[in-house]
Structure 1
Amino acid sequence: MKAALLQEPLSSAYVEQIALQFDMPDLVLPFWGYRKKMPMHQIVRLEGEGNYTLFHFSDGSQLMVSLTLKKMESRLSSKVFVRPHKKNIINLLYLEGVYPETVQPKRPQLSVGLVNGHRIEVSRRKASQFIKQVKGFQEEIQSLNS
């Protein structure tokens, strides 16, 4: 069951347009002996794996860097990137839906679906803050359309 929080996923052309309006710079990622610029708006989500971060991009590719998720979080635009769980940071531009799931009676659990098919759990402690961030993002998108 989808929550009534989202209208519909954003098209890729619209994502590009919003990225320009939000002034999302390229992200410089360190690799063995060199650095590489990656467009920030093409990052769908980041997944923490110990001292490494796995990037999932909109074209389906993945890249791993030797920086923690916490260090990467400080380099990302807080307007579109949120951390619903300690292991993941998601890009709200690629949010497909927010889903309530009942794991245990009287203890509903939220999860989010991304346009690439990934489903990410929202931690209970971060759920209310996450919903506020999603609503704020939705309002900002609507104000850009006006």
Structure 2
Amino acid sequence: MNKKLTAILVDDEPLAIETLGVLLDMYCPEIEIVGKGNSIDQAIILVETYKPQIVFLDIEMPNGNGFMLLNRIDTTNIKIIFTTAYSQYTIQAIRKGVHDYLMKPIDSDELVSSIDRLKKSLLEKNPHEEKVLIQCMDKVHRIKLNQIQRCESESNYTHLFLNSDKKITVSMTLKSIEQKLIHDTSFIRVHQSHLINKDYVVSLSRGAKPGLTMKSGEEIPISYRKKTQVFSKINC
């Protein structure tokens, strides 16, 4: 697994977040921390914004129990790792299907073991290059995700530009396409009309009119509303 796994850290104790961040940097370089929050409300915003693959989540917090977050977000494509000083929630966590339950203070060996198991489960789930099914009229296209360079909307149609210089036009909105691809962290909605695969980005302009240059040479605008999120996900 070459791509980094994205994660957010949620804990009401700043020291706990700092300590976990240090442990991940030292022992789990395959994890990219994309956000940190100290409340359930902040966690919801972070999940909706970054679509992380992992949420490290404290249970006991002043404004609500960590299980409240699980009831308010779609965890289909998210692995939950509880980080807590309380052992009495283990059975409840198992019933909720969380990936792991790490007791504070977090042991580095246990953290590494947890991440190794998580990576193994992801590989078993996707043993081959993942593909997406896109229907166009009476034909279904089966496309490898890593072959999609970008998607561009045109009214109720969307153009998919592939790395083979092939373009497929489908009668689906860009939002519908985004829902099919959003679990793959390579894809980022950068503009109302553009969804791009960051693996095909060669340069990023942060000026008055922010934009991206793709490997194909095409220039893609970044909307003002999305620029902060895009800049945090793309490093050029």
Between stretches 30-39 and 53-62, larger displacement belongs to: 30-39
Which residue pairs with 2:86 in the alignment?
none
Secondary structure at the counterpart of residue 74 of structure 1: helix
Give 2:217's match in structure 1, choosing from 117, 134, 137. 117
Aligned equivalents of 2:179, 2:136: Cα separation in 1: 18
| TM-score (norm: length of structure 2) | 0.44
Consecutive unaligned residues of structure 1, counting only runs of 5 or more, are 1-16, 102-107, 139-146
Residue 126 (1) aligns with residue 223 (2) = no
Corresponding residue number in structure 2 for 1:82: 188
How many residues are treated as equivalent by the alignment?
112
Report the Cα offset of residue 37 of structure 1. Answer: 0.4
Q: Which of these residues, 36, 45, 50, is aligned with residue 155 of structure 2?
A: 50
Kindly state the Cα deviation for residue 32 of structure 1 after the two structures are TM-superposed: 2.0
Please state if 1:41 is matched with 2:146. Answer: yes
Q: How many Å apart are 1:56 and its aligned residue?
A: 0.6
Relative contact order, higher structure (CA 8 A, sep 6+) = 1
Q: Per-residue deviation at 1:99? A: 1.3
The secondary structure found in structure 1 opposite 2:180 is: coil
1:13-42 Cα shifts (integer Å, max 9, x gaps): xxxx65xx7x55211010222312011110
d(CA) in 2 for partners of 1:34, 1:110: 37
Unmatched 5+ stretches in structure 2: 4-122
**In terms of Rg, which structure is larger?**
2
Q: How far apart, in 2, do the equivalents of 1:113 and 1:30 lie?
A: 29
Q: CA RMSD in A?
A: 2.1
Q: Deviations over 1:32-72 (max 9, x none)?
A: 22312011110000000111100011111100000000000
Q: For 1:128 and 1:67, locate their aligned partners in 2 and report how far apart those are by CA, in whole Å.
A: 27
Amino acid in the other structure paired with 2:205:
Y
Asked if structure 1 preserves the Cα contact closer than 8 Å seen for 2:137 and 2:171, the reply is: no
**Distance (Å, rounded) in 2 between the aligned partners of 1:78 and 1:134:** 14
Structure 1 residue 109, shift from structure 2 partner: 1.8
User: Which whole-Å CA distance do the structure 2 matches of 1:36 and 1:78 have between them?
Assistant: 18
Partner amino acid, structure 2, of 1:38: I
Q: Give TM-score scaled by structure 1 length.
A: 0.70
2:175 corresponds to = 70
Instruction: Find the aligned partners of 1:92 and 1:53 in 2 and give their Cα distance.
Output: 18
SS in 1 for 2:211: strand
Structure with bigger strand share is: 1
Find the counterpart in structure 1 of residue 25 from structure 2. none
